[in-house]
Amino acid sequence: MIHIIPSDDRPSVDLGWLQSHPSFSFGEYYDPENTGFSVMRVCNDDVLVGGRGFGPHPHSDMEIVTIVLNGAVRHEDNLGNTEVVSAGQVQRMSAGSGLIHAEYNASETEELRLLQLWFMPAERGLTPSFETCSYPQSGLKNSLLPVVARDRKEGVAGIHQDMTVYLSRVGAGQAVDFRQQEGRHIYVYAIEGNFALSGSRLTAGDTARISGQHELKIEAEEDSFLMLIDLP
């Protein structure tokens, strides 16, 4: 079953310095019927003005993935990590037994757009850790490129869960196929463009939650940028 959530049906948060579109209950938005999908708990599409961000705050027992779409984010945490993550890079932070971190727009003048994703770990109480990986932009073309996975390798951030995050840029008139094992779930986020997902149409900002259907065909009607997550 493919359940499409149109962009207009997702909540919108406007704090002036932050424009956010959460896909699941987050912050002041709470819907008891929309608290997650499989092990996924958060998918926020955030735009931050220059020089602003999220001050120090705690996390525990959560795998947090940040995908920078435009601009750059500056990460700081109480483990001593300070790093700037730019478009074309992915950051993975395992909060584990607990840490404090902050995230800011690294530019004083340019907007920052990022996707922030939270997942439940396979094991609680892990030692907190942090990493940043760069992926080749050429690898996105008409292909599903893994950028986060359980098994870490060059260009792929490791995560403490049986899952994989893929990114893809599918050209107009092109198609990409995806197949997974039965009994798993798929989450799709339309970042840009317009494409058909096994017959269901998605445009920018739409999401899809898929269960019981383990083969997908992505057919782009125009140049499209998307994220697909293979979940347990």
Tell me if 205 sits within 8 A of 10, measured CB to CB.
yes
Inside any domain, residue 1: no
Q: How far apart are CA 90 and CA 152, in angstroms?
A: 13
In a domain, 96, yes or no: yes
- The predicted pLDDT at position 44 comes to 98
Structural domain harbouring 208: 6-231
68 within a domain of the structure (yes/no) = yes
Strand ranges in the chain using DSSP code E only, listed in sequence order: 2-5, 13-14, 18-22, 40-48, 53-59, 63-70, 72-77, 82-86, 89-94, 99-105, 112-119, 129-134, 145-149, 157-158, 164-170, 175-179, 185-197, 200-203, 207-211, 215-231
What is residue 95's three-state secondary structure? coil
**Cβ distance 207 to 6 under 8 Å?**
no
Strand partners, 206: none
HEC sequence for 125-142: CCCCEEEEEECCHHHHEC
Asked, for residue 120, whether it belongs to a domain, the answer is yes
Number of domains in the chain: 1
Does residue 80 belong to any structural domain of this protein?
yes
Torsion region of 199: left, alpha or beta (phi above 0 gives left; psi -120 to 50 gives alpha): left
CATH number at residue 175: 2.60.120.10
Per-position pLDDT tens, the chain of length 232? 999 999 999 999 999 999 999 999 998 889 999 999 999 999 999 999 999 999 999 999 999 999 999 999 999 999 898 999 999 999 999 999 999 999 999 999 999 999 999 999 999 999 999 999 999 999 999 999 999 999 999 999 999 999 999 999 999 999 999 999 999 999 999 999 999 999 999 999 999 999 999 999 999 999 999 999 999 9
